[in-house]
Amino acid sequence: MRIPVQSGELACQSIGSGQPIIFIHGFPITGLMWLHAARHLPPGFRGIVPDLPNHGASTTRSPIDIRDFADDMLTVLDVFAPGEQGIFIGLSMGGIICFDLWRRYPGRIRALVLCNTRANAEPPEGIAYRRAIADSAMRDGVAPIVEAMLPKVFAPGFDQARLAFWRTAMLSTTPTGLAATSLALASRADSFPTVPTITCPTLVIAGDQDAITSPDSLHDIHQRIPGSRFTVIPDAGHVPPVEQPVAFSAALNEFLTKLPA
Ligand code: MLT
């Protein structure tokens, strides 16, 4: 289905029925990365899997910022559960969007799952890097950027045929979309003041071989969220739901089935 949002129109899949779970993917990939997890939820949950603006089959918006992405995710929740609470799962940039949702809409959040993400604002060297990425995308297209990212995204042993699939998914990002999203990441807020204010049930997930957001940095986020839980997925890099889908779903589903009524 397609969902009209402030940024344009989002491609979105809905799987199952019950409590809504919004799955928010990372940069620059698509909602496809969540399909295994969304298809293997326990009974009583609905997996809602949008492509973010500027990604996959959704429309492009430039400029855009992290708050725009967050507002669009709330609009998606409102399509399925108007005014109600949802569970939000975000990976990397998706987690950054979750922090913004918690900052502005805590009453709409029943639980959070924060995967392979970061809470810091972009440091000066990162801002320069992300601006360079944006310029490069507009000048040379997205392929050189995707090729440079791939070895960092997936753990070294990741299957080559599956890697080829995810390369294609990442290459579906338009130059304008990739550039605008890179600049959105560059201007993101510092979420460290937000992290200790999180009071909903929260699971923090890391990949033991993540070269982008280290397990130690995820453990630090977990320690700052009172009562949160922490899981490290073995043999996984930056995208555990793709690299180790069975172990990821087991960790996610254990958390979901133990949520307080
Ligand atoms: C992501 O997966 O969303 C990206 O790695 C985020 C980033 O570039 O920091």
Condensed to tens digits (0 to 9), the pLDDT of residues 110-133 reads 999 999 999 999 999 999 999 999
154-170 average pLDDT score: 96
Q: Is residue 167 scored above 90 in pLDDT?
A: yes
Give the pLDDT mean for 170-198. Answer: 98
CA 62 → CA 26, 53, 139, 156, distances in Å?
18, 10, 16, 34
Cross-strand partners of 90? 24, 114
How far are the Cα atoms of 17, 91, 224, 225, 233 from residue 206, in angstroms, in the given order? 28, 10, 15, 15, 6
Tokens, residue 189: 């807020």
54, 29 contact by CB (below 8 A): no
Q: Which two tokens stand for residue 62?
A: 């430039």
Q: What's the CA-to-centroid distance between 149 and ligand 1, angstroms?
A: 10
Of the candidates 205, 93, 188, 222, the one whose C-alpha atom is nearest the C-alpha of residue 149 is 93
Mean pLDDT of 5-16: 97
Name the maximum alpha-carbon separation found in the chain.
52
Nearest ligand 1 atom to the CA of 130 is 8
Which protein residues are within 6 Å of ligand 1, measured from CB? 26-27, 92-93, 185, 212, 238
Average pLDDT, the chain: 98
**If you take atom 4 of ligand 1, which residue's CA is the nearest one?**
27
Q: Is the pLDDT of residue 261 over 90?
A: no
Give the nearest ligand 1 atom to 26 CA.
Answer: 3
Which pLDDT band holds residue 153 (cuts at 50, 70, 90)? very high
For the segment 156-184, the average pLDDT, to the nearest whole number, is: 96
Kindly state the average pLDDT of the residues 209-232: 98
Which atom of ligand 1 is closest in space to residue 212's alpha carbon?
5
| Amino acid present at 21 | I
CA 105 to chain centre: 17
Protein residue with least CA distance to atom 2, ligand 1: 26
The pLDDT value recorded for residue 174 is 97
